[in-house]
Amino acid sequence: MNKNISLVIPTYKEKDNIQPLVTRLSEALADYKYEIVIMDDNSRDGTEELVKSLSEQFPVKIVVRRDKKGLASAVVDGFGYAKNDIIVVMDADLQHPPEVVPSLVKAINEGADIAIGSRYVEGGGCEGWSALRRIMSKGAALISHLFLPSTRKIKDPMSGFFVIKREVVKEANLNPSGFKILLEILMLGNWKSVVEVPFMFVTRSRGESKLNTKQQLDYLKHIYSLMQRTGELVRFIKFCIVGGSGVIVNLGLYTLLTRYGSFTPIDDTSAGLLSGNIAL
């Protein structure tokens, strides 16, 4: 059992969450040898000073990027600062309970390449979400399943709470925009097995959410960019051309048979089936 782990935690204006986060992690990971790498995007809210003072008592360090480049890119940069071969990624706002980290690490030690903290497997969920937020989140997962077929077997590819073996990202050319770093890793990382571990995504009690409409639009751009980079876009276009040409052939034959032939369809379905069979 490998108990050496690195936690990469992106932050932007999370000062009030840092101390409880570090304290709860130290309790949850009492049996582990761990380091916490805070990847901050120039919050200027006292996060930097606080982490530096906490580093006297806890294994925590901070990297401040003076240009704000976003959550997902902060995590990718964080992989470069992490020393251990098991890497945990989680939010700083305590919506990802530190107490779940050992179960995720256990799944890695039992052979998974990626262990995802999942809201959408049995036992998982989201606390206090409005109906709209639920629909948006499920809709985002559906878009991923639709346009990135290799994510279909994963119930929560949008989760920001996961653990990976370093080999998964070692050779991967990651260049994510927006918030969805896991999606980038699932599409471009080197992995064979994924395990989803349920957890309850709890309500934020301090600080403010940075998820806004821009992040949601960036998500669509990210999906498109992943489709381009993985060849999925070409496959999708081919699929549309083949499917579209089938429809055109079907409609053409249907028109010919009904208008110029003596064919009278029993109903629309049988006509469609007949012309489809002739086209094939």
Ligand X SMILES: Nc1nc2c(ncn2[C@@H]2O[C@H](COP(=O)(O)OP(=O)(O)OP(=O)(O)O)[C@@H](O)[C@H]2O)c(=O)[nH]1
Cα 186 from chain centroid (whole Å): 8
Supply the minimum distance, in Å, between the C-beta of residue 77 and ligand X: 9
CB nearer to ligand X: give 92 or 186. Answer: 92
Q: Is 63 helix (H, G, I), strand (E, B) or coil?
A: strand
Contact 183, 144 (CB under 8 A): yes
Residue 196 CB, shortest distance to ligand X, in Å, is 18
Contacts with ligand X in 174-233 (CB under 6 A)? 179, 204, 209-211
Sign of CA dihedral 194, 92, 202, 23: positive
Read off the DSSP letter of residue 176. -
39 three-state secondary structure:
strand
Do strands 162-165 and 114-118 pair parallel, antiparallel, or not at all (unpaired)?
antiparallel
Stretch that binds ligand X, among 11-19, 46-54, 138-146, 264-272 (CB under 6 A): 11-19
70 binding ligand X? (CB under 6 A) = yes
Q: Check residue 71 for interaction with ligand X (CB under 6 A).
A: yes
Binding mask 61-100 for Mg ion (x = CB under 5 A): --------------------------------x-x-----
Query: How far apart are CB 83 and ligand X at their closest, in Å?
Result: 19
* Cβ-based neighbours of 223, under 8 Å, separated by 6 or more: 143, 144, 147, 148, 183
- The residues that touch ligand X, with contacts defined as CB under 6 A, are 10-12, 14, 39-41, 68, 70-71, 74, 91-93, 95, 160, 179, 204, 209-211
